[in-house]
Structure 1
Amino acid sequence: MQNQKLLPSSYFFFLLICLFHVSSSLMQFKQAENYEGSSDLVELEYHMGPVLASSPINLYIIWYGHWKPTQQATIRDFIYSISSSSSSSSSSSSSPSYPSVADWWKTVRLYTDQTGSNITGNIVLSGELYDFSYSHGTHLSRLDIQSIIKTAVTSYPTPLPLNPHNGLYLVLTSYDVQVQDFCRAVCGFHYFTFPTIVGVTVPYAWVGYSGAQCPGMCAYPFAWPKDSPPSRNGGHDVMGSPNGDVGVDGMISVIAHELAEVSSNPLVNAWYAGDDPTAPTEIADLCLGVYGSGGGGGYVGKVYKDSWGNGFNVNGVKGRRFMLQWVWNPLKRRCFGPNALD
């Protein structure tokens, strides 16, 4: 985050009471009615708050519950891919080929703060903590996520650093953890911690593993809701997931969604559309269900298929492939990703 003066703690307490809103990844694809978005319907505005422009962003992951090593490896590789530039040749072993996750992040980087500083392109996985003991139980409220962060930064003997300067905390809950509104209304959210709970104000995001609880809602397009209407081609075809785990592959798109929004609106006073800061429509909310050209209305758009028929739209490190939802491009004034056909 920029070294800007933050609001006094009394204001955060007021926000706790009156403005406890979190940006939600509502992965209900039917909401993307306008194919690739519409500049006529969107009034995305800057509200003078900070963005995450300090480089690097130090990302700290809290693995809450039980995770398979393969699941953790896939998510880590996605994080590593954000800062890994594309190679000009697909034969390069050191860099992912175009279009890459880093190319997707370039759209997020177009957003600036009031000094003209762009969101950073350097996100570093700087620490991980494994909360295998379910320190706050298996039924969590939204506010409990902040308590999990507090536990992580005060745990003995190896706590995560408490970094209010350029830290970003990502809480990931396993298949058996129920979080308030998860699957019913949200797949993930972001906000900022309250000094009364954590001690300082830092941005954070939460995403849950949906493979067991609600793949049809939170792992789209690798699973479809049971009551979904037919797709554009008249069927209910399920697209194969590129890394072999529907829950993790769907989760990665939600993580991307939340990282884009927490970077462009970390204190809920920077980039969003609408007049109500308690219910902002943010840069990824504008593109729900859009993954390729022509996307929207239950159709993901034009994406790639690997040799097994699994879908993806960007490349990552170690030969990984991912399917990431597009975000709003402020220059083109429409949803956009590096796999766009125009």
Structure 2
Amino acid sequence: MCQSSSLPRFPAPPSTAVLSLILILSLTTLVAGWRPWPPSGNNRFNLSDYTYGDSKKYEGSSEFIKLKYHMGPVLTSNITVHTIWYGRWERNQKKIIREFINSISAVHSKSPSIAGWWRTVQLYTDQTGSNISNSVQLGQEKNDRFYSHGKSLTRLSVQSVIKSAITARTKPLPINPRSGLYLLLTSEDVFVQDFCTSVCGFHYFTFPSLVGYTLPYAWVGNSAKLCPGQCAYPFAVPAFIPNRKPFKSPNGDVGVDGMISVIGHELAELATNPLANAWYAGQDPSFPVEIADLCEGIYGTGGGGAYMGQVMDARDGATYNMNGIRRRFLVQWVWNHILNYCTGPNALDQ
């Protein structure tokens, strides 16, 4: 969500804007407060569990959702993701996230694939009819191992971290306002404003008065120590949910596997609404409901309400719904504005 929660968990007391969002979502089958808890029992991808019918096809569909194009730019040029690793990161953690981003354009990955998921994002166009790019690649990276802005960041200091990365004396990140995305990832010992209480990640654009440029960016935090039950669900479960066993993470890292879906959420929304004036629902551009917000908590066929939908179990028992180049991932679906429902490559009826 733009400058707000991507996968919100426990919202703060509602403002007028929040109440408007609640009203919109209350008219659908979606859940926005936190990721829905899975059903008990086996959650394997089993075709016999469902019959093919409209009730299973149109996950989250609703005539009340009015996603509109507001004439702003979308990312139609080749997309480059410049990454800032803030804090201390293990080598394997970086590999997992890099491979997820590289998998977005890996069209030969085993189905259902991350590239298949991105094809829904590609359906969105600008006012000339140009589609969002099918090319998403890793750009340059910047390490900030010494917490140059401290271990507690505000939303404004998040932008200051980005400024430091593009103005560094050695190996600064390139400045690419038209097709570059700046992804700030904070390690498990860093707290960001509203983290764990109402956000797990957010996206917006930098202020020229602060950074010098208008750059689309996203922040996502590693919740492994601070709030895995809120931001790494279903690979961790909140303490107040009794007798609920967490799912096994597909890459053996609860915090990072939990980040993957949030990163996907933010990249999809950055591509379709980079400057908060393109694709969103609602009347308030400062609090838009975007293409991933509309599918909050839906990961497979039948998803909605208190059910994440049909996903898959690997041979080692790990839970996932999409394949990358060499790894598996669990990524939420996004809204298809042509069909007017949430969809993903692991849908049982496509």
TM-score (norm 2): 0.84
Identify the residue that residue 25 of structure 1 maps to in structure 2: 6
The separation in 2 between residues aligned to 1:224 and 1:172, in whole angstroms, is: 22
- Map residues 1-342 of structure 1 onto 2, 5 A cutoff: 22-28=3-9, 30-31=31-32, 36-54=59-77, 56-86=78-108, 96-228=109-241, 236-317=244-325, 319-342=326-349
User: What amino acid is the match of 1:26?
Assistant: L
The separation in 2 between residues aligned to 1:104 and 1:296, in whole angstroms, is: 18
SS in 1 for 2:82: strand
The separation in 1 between residues aligned to 2:72 and 2:234, in whole angstroms, is: 34
The separation in 1 between residues aligned to 2:336 and 2:4, in whole angstroms, is: 18
Provide structure 1 residue ranges, at least 5 long, that are not aligned to the other structure. Answer: 1-20, 87-95
| 1:163 Cα deviation from its structure 2 partner | 1.5
What do you get for the CA RMSD once the two structures are aligned?
1.7
The separation in 1 between residues aligned to 2:178 and 2:305, in whole angstroms, is: 40
Contact 1:53 1:120 in 2 (8 A): yes
Question: CA 1:271 to 1:23, structure 2 compared with 1: closer, same or farther past 3 Å?
Answer: farther
Provide structure 2 residue ranges, at least 5 long, that are not aligned to the other structure. Answer: 10-29, 37-54
Contact 2:84 2:142 in 1 (8 A): yes
The separation in 2 between residues aligned to 1:47 and 1:331, in whole angstroms, is: 16
Contact 1:27 1:289 in 2 (8 A): no
| 1:109 Cα deviation from its structure 2 partner | 0.6
TM-score (norm 1): 0.86
The separation in 2 between residues aligned to 1:268 and 1:329, in whole angstroms, is: 19
% identity of equivalent residues: 59
Question: CA 1:36 to 1:223, structure 2 compared with 1: closer, same or farther past 3 Å?
Answer: farther
The separation in 2 between residues aligned to 1:328 and 1:226, in whole angstroms, is: 31
The separation in 2 between residues aligned to 1:124 and 1:246, in whole angstroms, is: 25
The separation in 1 between residues aligned to 2:59 and 2:237, in whole angstroms, is: 20
